Amino acid sequence: METGGGLATAKRKMQKSRRTWLLLWCSLLLPTAFEFQLNDKFGKFQSPGFPTAYGDNIYQTWNISVPSGFVIKLYFSHFSLEPSYRCDYDHVKILLEGQQLAKLCGETSTDTEEAPGDKLFISTGENMTVIFRTDYSNEKNYTGFAAHYAAVDIDECNRAAFEEPSCDHYCHNYLGGYYCSCKLGYYLDSDHRTCRIRKA
């Protein structure tokens, strides 16, 4: 009797642990994550199913990369997400090198939530990550978003007053880069920015 009871308990324990594992696996699998890499100099992307209502449990990521010498300008031509306090339910997150630039939801901004409106989101470097996440319901059939991005040239010749100028004498900006030149009687050092007096 003792052994039989012990066996039954062990069996129940095993079934329970199997159930726990199954639940753990399900929670790991939901929401399903998708990741896209965008390497063109401009493009657009949208919430799944746009312009119809987005689904539940979405976790979708777009990694935007542009060539060096450019930054990324992003804006939304349509934005309609379920509003929630601090956008904790459905939201679009914009990240720069892992740092959060914005967390967006709703249709218009409030004291505690930000909706993009006509705002331009500009990266500081060559990369930007956009994450779209939804929870388990979209009862009011919010239609999601349409986002557009473009690579914008960095004007290295137009530096802020507190920054070191890019060139000693003359700075020439071009798409994707810049170059320096010097006044007559000087030559450009091998560092491509310092001007040195030409010796006779």
CB nearer to Ca ion: pick between 118 and 164 = 164
Q: Give yes or no for a cis peptide into 83 (omega within 30° of 0).
A: no
Q: Do the strands 177-181 and 91-96 form a parallel or antiparallel pair, or are they unpaired?
A: unpaired
Q: Which parts of 163-182 interact with Ca ion (CB under 5 A)?
A: 173, 178
86: left (phi over 0), alpha (psi -120 to 50) or beta: left
Structure tokens at 25: 């696996």
Identify whether the C-beta of residue 114 lies closer than 8 Å to the C-beta of residue 102: yes
Work out how close the CB of 105 gets to Ca ion at its nearest, in angstroms, rounded to a whole number: 9
Contact with Ca ion (CB under 5 A): which of 31, 61, 65, 153?
153
Binding string to Ca ion for residues 123 to 152, with x set by CB under 5 A, is what?
------------x--x--------------
Site for Ca ion in 18-37 (CB under 5 A): none
Least separation in angstroms between CB 28 and Ca ion: 21
Q: Which is nearer to Ca ion, 63 or 169 (CB)?
A: 169
Strand partners, 79: 145
What span, in angstroms and rounded, lies between the C-alpha atoms of 109 and 130? 19
Residues 49-108 that bind Ca ion (CB under 5 A): 82, 89-90
β partners of residue 6: none
Smallest distance, Å, CB 134 to Ca ion?
5
Please identify, using beta-carbon distances, which residue of 43 and 69 lies nearer to Ca ion: 69
Minimum CB distance to Ca ion, residue 76 (Å): 18
- Complex with Ca ion: residue 62 or 133, whichever CB lies closer: 133
CB closer to Ca ion, 126 vs 153: 153
If the CB atoms of residues 63 and 177 are measured against Ca ion, the closer one turns out to be: 177
Q: At 27, which helix (H) or strand (E)? A: helix 2-29
Output the smallest distance, CB 144 to Ca ion, in A: 11
The DSSP 8-state label assigned to residue 53 in this structure reads: P
Which residues have a Cβ under 8 Å from the Cβ of 105 and sit 6 or more positions away? 81, 82, 83, 84, 87, 89, 90, 91, 92, 113, 114, 115
Residues at the contact surface with Ca ion, assessed by CB under 5 A = 82, 89-90, 135, 138, 153, 173, 178
